[in-house]
Chain A
Amino acid sequence: MNRLPLEITINGEPHSPAVEPNRTLLELLRDDLHLTGAKEGCGEGVCGSCTVLMDGNPVRSCLTLALEADGSHITTVEGLAQGSELDPLQQSFIDHGAVQCGFCTSGMLMTAKGLLLRDPHAGTGEIKRALSGHICRCTGYTKITEAVEAEVTRSKKER
């Protein structure tokens, strides 16, 4: 198959790989760039574990062609931390025990991050609604919601 050129910024770094049309963004991230934070769960857009931010908005990387992401800025879970300093949202997940087996965590983090970028004052309803497309088979939803709520409260205090 013909490979086509692609210009994409991932976690702030520009990349210009040549990709096959049927390469998904998830395959590009995991298999080509070895950014394995985004997981493949269902592969059909149902479970949420492959979620990354595309220009600040959560998208399912398993249902996004790499070519459709041409020209966009992608943030994966690897791009949240600043050096060795975790993103406050990541820290909040740890502090609230919102991580169990960890498979859904990167997707949950990215969607929550996307929500807080759009609406830093999101209430419980909005948080639950935003995360409603994510499945946690450890069923740790309460802790995850609490972790995001706590981050909203913390960032309010800081401002």
Chain B
Amino acid sequence: MRLPAFAYELPRDLDEALELLKTYGPECKILAGGTDLLVRMKQGLTKPAHLISLKALPELATIQESGGLLRIGAAVRLADILTYQPILDRQPGLYEAVTAIGAPSIQHFRGTIGGNLCQDNRCQFYDQSNYFRGARQTCNKAGGKTCFAWEGGSDRCHSICQSDAAPVMIAMDAQVLVQSKRGVRNLPLAELYSGVGERPLTLSDDEMLIEIQVPDSGSGTGTAFAKLAYRSAIDYAVVSAGALVRVEDNRIVQANLVIGAVSRAPLKISGVDEILKSRPVGDQQVLDEAGKVAMNTAGAFIANNVAQPKDYRMQMVSVMAKRALKRALERALSGSRTMEEK
């Protein structure tokens, strides 16, 4: 498959890159690993006139620790996250999520963490060849006026955010650094997502994701990521869940749960915190209740945007939520925060 024509820009520093972004705006796309963008260009889903390569910007590809923050550059390759020992030691949920992205020989040596977070939303009716899409009307996401994923049609796009890294990083209260020629913004990762299927990110055309900042959650905190997919590699999630649980004096003091792959943006399940905090640590039923809350919240969003039936995905929300919470809790209680040897 041939790529359409474009001009290749190779900025030598961040300032030059931001200047190019300002100049070309909606006409350009940032090329990091290319494992998502180039596929969409081949399928004719996006036709940027300019690609801005991050190849010559090593400053975006470093991992640093400072002030209790793990600062991951947006262009850090997934393979570099997996071999960074402190993440393996202290952020098992993040490690699990990055492991689950794509397959080692596809994404891990080219794909970047920023690219995973900034990938476009997906839908089984949209992410297809021109030929496939040509058999139907143009959908909302492609500039038309209908949605095939929503029964009876819809005036909004019901594509889903398929990032595996986002749910667990949002559960970990990660922040992102966004920069343009106008200045720098620091915002919660959750606010990077607009909840609009046609344009899933809140980034302006001249803005660029620079860094992701993950707080070092400290002892007594556990994180976990659970993903249901039909294949163990090169597959998008049917449902995924990221969780963080914090335990103090044998009581849960914080529980964050974020469900992935069911809605336009990663879905934070707000009721779970209350449920888990109110009950003793050993209470098994509490996880069932949390799973039910997640299922009911996600139920309103689930559309026919992946191959699996809606009802099945809804039930799996509950299962994935429980798995992620249970593992995060176990890790919080074990205190060691380390991942069990696989």
The answer to whether A and B interact is yes
**Closest Cβ–Cβ distance, residue B75 to chain A (whole Å):** 12
List of B residues within 8 angstroms of A21 by Cβ: 5-8, 51
B25-66, CB under 8 A of A: which get 1 and which 0?
A: 000000100110011001100000001010100000000000
User: Which one of B105-113, B196-204, B207-215 is at the interface?
Assistant: B105-113
Give the total number of A-B pairs whose CB atoms are below 8 A apart: 94
B96-117, CB under 8 A of A: which get 1 and which 0?
A: 0000001111100110000000
List of A residues within 8 angstroms of B110 by Cβ: 59-60, 63-64
Given A45-B35, A125-B342, A132-B232, A60 contacting B106 (CB threshold 8 A): yes
Is the pair B35, A132 in contact by a Cβ cutoff of 8 Å?
no
Check: A86 CB closer than 8 A to any chain B CB: no
**Closest Cβ–Cβ distance, residue B69 to chain A (whole Å):** 28
| Most chain A CB neighbours (cut-off 10 Å) among B2, B7, B234 | B234
**Closest Cβ–Cβ distance, residue A103 to chain B (whole Å):** 16
Q: How far is the CA of A20 from the CA of B6 in the complex (A)?
A: 9
Contact of A129 among B8, B51, B102, B104 (CB under 8 A): B104
User: Which one of A50-58, A90-98, A148-156 is at the interface?
Assistant: A50-58
List of A residues within 8 angstroms of B10 by Cβ: 67
Check: A68 CB closer than 8 A to any chain B CB: yes
Q: How far is the CA of A137 from the CA of B34 in the complex (A)?
A: 26
Closest to A107 in B: B105
List of A residues within 8 angstroms of B5 by Cβ: 1, 20-22
**Closest Cβ–Cβ distance, residue B34 to chain A (whole Å):** 6
Contact of B35 among A48, A63, A67 (CB under 8 A): A63
Is the pair B55, A111 in contact by a Cβ cutoff of 8 Å?
no
Is the pair B3, A54 in contact by a Cβ cutoff of 8 Å?
no
List of A residues within 8 angstroms of B1 by Cβ: 40, 43-44, 62
Is the pair B109, A59 in contact by a Cβ cutoff of 8 Å?
yes
Check: B188 CB closer than 8 A to any chain A CB: no
Q: How far is the CA of A70 from the CA of B10 in the complex (A)?
A: 11
List of B residues within 8 angstroms of A111 by Cβ: 104-105
Check: B79 CB closer than 8 A to any chain A CB: yes
Is the pair A48, B105 in contact by a Cβ cutoff of 8 Å?
yes
Q: How far is the CA of A51 from the CA of B234 in the complex (A)?
A: 14
Q: How far is the CA of A111 from the CA of B79 in the complex (A)?
A: 14
**Closest Cβ–Cβ distance, residue B340 to chain A (whole Å):** 14
Is the pair B55, A58 in contact by a Cβ cutoff of 8 Å?
no
Provide the main secondary structure of the chain A interface. mixed
List of B residues within 8 angstroms of A43 by Cβ: 1, 42
Check: A133 CB closer than 8 A to any chain B CB: yes
List of A residues within 8 angstroms of B39 by Cβ: 44-45, 63
Check: A35 CB closer than 8 A to any chain B CB: no
Contact of A65 among B8, B79, B104, B109 (CB under 8 A): B8
Check: A4 CB closer than 8 A to any chain B CB: yes
Is the pair A22, B6 in contact by a Cβ cutoff of 8 Å?
yes
Given A43-B42, A67-B53, A24 contacting B3 (CB threshold 8 A): yes
Given A21-B51, A63-B34, A2 contacting B105 (CB threshold 8 A): no
Q: How far is the CA of A53 from the CA of B102 in the complex (A)?
A: 18
Check: B233 CB closer than 8 A to any chain A CB: yes
Is the pair A67, B8 in contact by a Cβ cutoff of 8 Å?
yes
**Closest Cβ–Cβ distance, residue A22 to chain B (whole Å):** 4
Q: Tell me the chain A residues, 82-123 only, with Cβ under 8 Å from chain B.
A: 107, 111, 114
Given A21-B6, A63-B38, A68-B53, A48 contacting B106 (CB threshold 8 A): yes
Is the pair A68, B31 in contact by a Cβ cutoff of 8 Å?
yes
Check: B4 CB closer than 8 A to any chain A CB: yes
Contact of A68 among B55, B79, B342 (CB under 8 A): B55
Q: How far is the CA of A62 from the CA of B35 in the complex (A)?
A: 10
Q: How far is the CA of A48 from the CA of B38 in the complex (A)?
A: 16
Q: How far is the CA of A43 from the CA of B31 in the complex (A)?
A: 18
Q: How far is the CA of A60 from the CA of B35 in the complex (A)?
A: 9
Check: A134 CB closer than 8 A to any chain B CB: yes
Contact of A57 among B8, B38, B51, B109 (CB under 8 A): B109
Is the pair A68, B232 in contact by a Cβ cutoff of 8 Å?
no
Contact of B105 among A22, A60, A65 (CB under 8 A): A60
List of B residues within 8 angstroms of A133 by Cβ: 102-106, 233-234
A6-42, CB under 8 A of B: which get 1 and which 0?
A: 0000000000000011101000000000000000100
A to B CB contacts below 8 Å, 8 in the list = A44-B39, A44-B42, A46-B106, A67-B8, A68-B34, A125-B342, A129-B233, A132-B103
Q: Which A-B residue pairs are the 9 nearest by beta carbons?
A: A133-B103, A132-B233, A43-B1, A21-B8, A22-B3, A58-B105, A57-B109, A133-B105, A111-B105
